[in-house]
Structure 1
């Protein structure tokens, strides 16, 4: 029976009381999360965002977003199949495909929606998905929604993938993985995983969310770096919200794949199209990346400097993972960094395995020498003498 509340007040229902016990459990485990709103400007040095190339605040990128609003308005007005596709969408898709060495591209409202859309459109009942255990949550959820039989392999375990593919009874199969693992920024064994898929007549999907703008020739991604771009049996997804400093997602592949998605991908058909400002900003950011291919080198160089100061392994991407172990200690370290004027991420279970709670730093190409000196000094002070467990420095 619900409690009667005065007019204008939220009414509590007994049926929802389990939420209180659930919250107490999260608090006791050190897993309670809270929102930390940003102000428009701050003296805090940002090492937590995914704006890897610093293009989200670039003057030309912001101007392009404003110009797009002036031309098209603030919203896309409908789904892509009705009124939500503008000439700017088509232009962005063409340029993304060309840049990443693909035949065609299709832009979605988010990277999450892109992964949900392509996986569920390619796999269903009567098919198999081999899912890398290090894949992003969007790929995990896509597998669950697909209704396909799903085999989850240990992160990067190519032999497990080969066995699952070889022993399948299903005619169709799809292998899904991140190209760069999102939690610690390590590179997936992408070439070997692709060869396992190809040898067993399966498609493969590589999520380049953390590869675009950071790996490959001029930031074209890890698929490009390995010389695998343009293979029809290797599908690429990416987000526009990290290196390109905007918002949205994209699927890249053959023209017939994109035509299939236009007809069948539910997160494309039934979702409102990406808003004009995000389209304009992503297009302008891509132009900056093309014009300044050294941005990818800059972000990796800055990541290496941060990792050295933190006593972490040499990073393979913009992500620097500093394992603390205990979630409460990780939160305390994050808060101490913040109090000293440096913002970093903090990953705890279920985002990472139990016992591997960590600080997650993200380098940016536009960090100045002064920024790096300040960040490194703060890291050394906060981490000095801290009991970081047996896993410290790994990842």
Structure 2
């Protein structure tokens, strides 16, 4: 009979997820075995998680409290939360903003609040797990279209009419590094009378000269059919998330979004850090440095077989799990942390190295990684 010791089927060794203990020092990871590896796997795209001003902002708020003590609706919001919501809405070009505990909580709660069993959701097959789970938990009829296939999406919209429908997509896809066709998605939303939900977690702070993300890049931020999700856990270097949209929509979420209503509010130190990070992003120095480092990397990897991506996410498709693990290990021997991404995170047969660029990387570190990649491929790992 099963008990808590044998409830789960054992996983093959090559499929086991590992949680190595490591300490971060800037762009380096210090492992328990004493190795120091240059981190090319994180989402700290602007290096703000260790920026002196961002850390100082958090420390100042920590002098008053560590945790927030309750949910937002139980004991009220710190005024910093309202100030940051207003700043984010203005910066991103939307009427209103709602802060939520994390990107996972934002997407799950958002789709549950927007949709029910009589509604229909049309979702890209490569959407992040938070969007997948939110759609399933909403109880809506879920229709998934092939990645970036606008023709199939249009056909699904014709075949499945309903009073309330929404298209749901990542902005930048986290494992492929490619981008949703925002103008085409919005055109379909208008033609078929649907909402469009875009999770621009990886685009916010990285795309466009001003870092305002994918919807701003295409000039559609603030559209009445558009709802956008962003995060502080990536380019902002912190933790938490936010939802942007028309004022009426955001007010409706304040009354209905269970993952916000029944969660402890973000600590004020996290809010203060995010506000400082926003000021730095608006100045633009880190955003432009990221773009320079991305251009340097892309110039050096021509012919190596990388998947097409113009974002800070640069995936190298390997295929088999064992081959991806071997190449990751060879890069670690050379001093670079680039873990292999394997199923179920990515589809079977598409294991890969997911390299991410940061404004904190030096020219020498980028050139060193390119040389290590070429050497690993010469040894037959790629």
Give me the TM-score of the superposition, normalised by structure 2: 0.93
Name the structure 1 match of 2:33: none
How has the CA–CA distance of structure 1 residues 183 and 84 changed in structure 2, closer, same or farther, with 3 Å as cutoff?
farther
Residues 129-153 of structure 1 show CA distances to partners (whole Å, capped at 9, x for unaligned) of: 0011121110000001000000011
Q: 1:278 aligns with which of 270, 277, 295?
A: 270
Name the structure 1 match of 2:293: 302
Say if 2:21 is the partner of 1:37.
yes
CA distance in 2 between partners of 1:350 and 1:313 (Å): 19
Q: Cα distance, 1:15 vs. partner? A: 6.2
Residues 336-372 of structure 1 show CA distances to partners (whole Å, capped at 9, x for unaligned) of: 2122211113211111111110000110012222222
Q: Cα distance, 1:227 vs. partner? A: 0.5
Q: 2:233 aligns with which of 228, 238, 241?
A: 241
CA distance in 2 between partners of 1:356 and 1:220 (Å): 31
- Which has the larger displacement, 328-337 or 90-99? 328-337
Name the structure 2 match of 1:23: 10
Name the structure 2 match of 1:5: none
Any conservation in 2 of the 1:309–1:380 contact (CA below 8 Å)? no
Name the structure 2 match of 1:60: 53
CA distance in 1 between partners of 2:307 and 2:316 (Å): 9
Q: Secondary structure at the match of 1:367?
A: coil
Alignment of 1:119-130 (within 5 A): 119-130=111-122
Give me the TM-score of the superposition, normalised by structure 1: 0.90
How has the CA–CA distance of structure 1 residues 299 and 40 changed in structure 2, closer, same or farther, with 3 Å as cutoff?
closer
CA distance in 2 between partners of 1:306 and 1:239 (Å): 25
Q: Cα distance, 1:116 vs. partner? A: 1.0
Any conservation in 1 of the 2:324–2:381 contact (CA below 8 Å)? no
CA distance in 1 between partners of 2:264 and 2:3 (Å): 36
Say if 2:109 is the partner of 1:117.
yes
Say if 2:189 is the partner of 1:197.
yes
CA distance in 1 between partners of 2:257 and 2:40 (Å): 35
Q: Cα distance, 1:308 vs. partner? A: 4.5
Alignment of 1:202-281 (within 5 A): 202-281=194-273
Q: Secondary structure at the match of 2:15?
A: coil
Q: Secondary structure at the match of 2:173?
A: coil
C-alpha root-mean-square deviation of aligned residues, in Å? 1.7
CA distance in 2 between partners of 1:34 and 1:223 (Å): 35
Q: 2:362 aligns with which of 360, 364, 368?
A: 368
How has the CA–CA distance of structure 1 residues 342 and 127 changed in structure 2, closer, same or farther, with 3 Å as cutoff?
same
CA distance in 2 between partners of 1:14 and 1:207 (Å): 39
CA distance in 2 between partners of 1:303 and 1:238 (Å): 22
How has the CA–CA distance of structure 1 residues 383 and 306 changed in structure 2, closer, same or farther, with 3 Å as cutoff?
farther
Alignment of 1:133-212 (within 5 A): 133-212=125-204
How has the CA–CA distance of structure 1 residues 246 and 84 changed in structure 2, closer, same or farther, with 3 Å as cutoff?
farther
Any conservation in 1 of the 2:317–2:351 contact (CA below 8 Å)? yes
Any conservation in 1 of the 2:44–2:235 contact (CA below 8 Å)? yes
Say if 2:367 is the partner of 1:379.
no
How has the CA–CA distance of structure 1 residues 204 and 139 changed in structure 2, closer, same or farther, with 3 Å as cutoff?
same
4+ runs deviating over 6 angstroms: none
Q: 1:358 aligns with which of 328, 352, 358?
A: 352
Residues 3-61 of structure 1 show CA distances to partners (whole Å, capped at 9, x for unaligned) of: xxxxxxxxxx6465252xx224x32xx21111112224333211111000001110000
Q: Cα distance, 1:170 vs. partner? A: 1.9
CA distance in 2 between partners of 1:146 and 1:60 (Å): 40
Residues 282-340 of structure 1 show CA distances to partners (whole Å, capped at 9, x for unaligned) of: 1111110111x243333233234334544225531110101111111111211221222
CA distance in 2 between partners of 1:219 and 1:109 (Å): 22
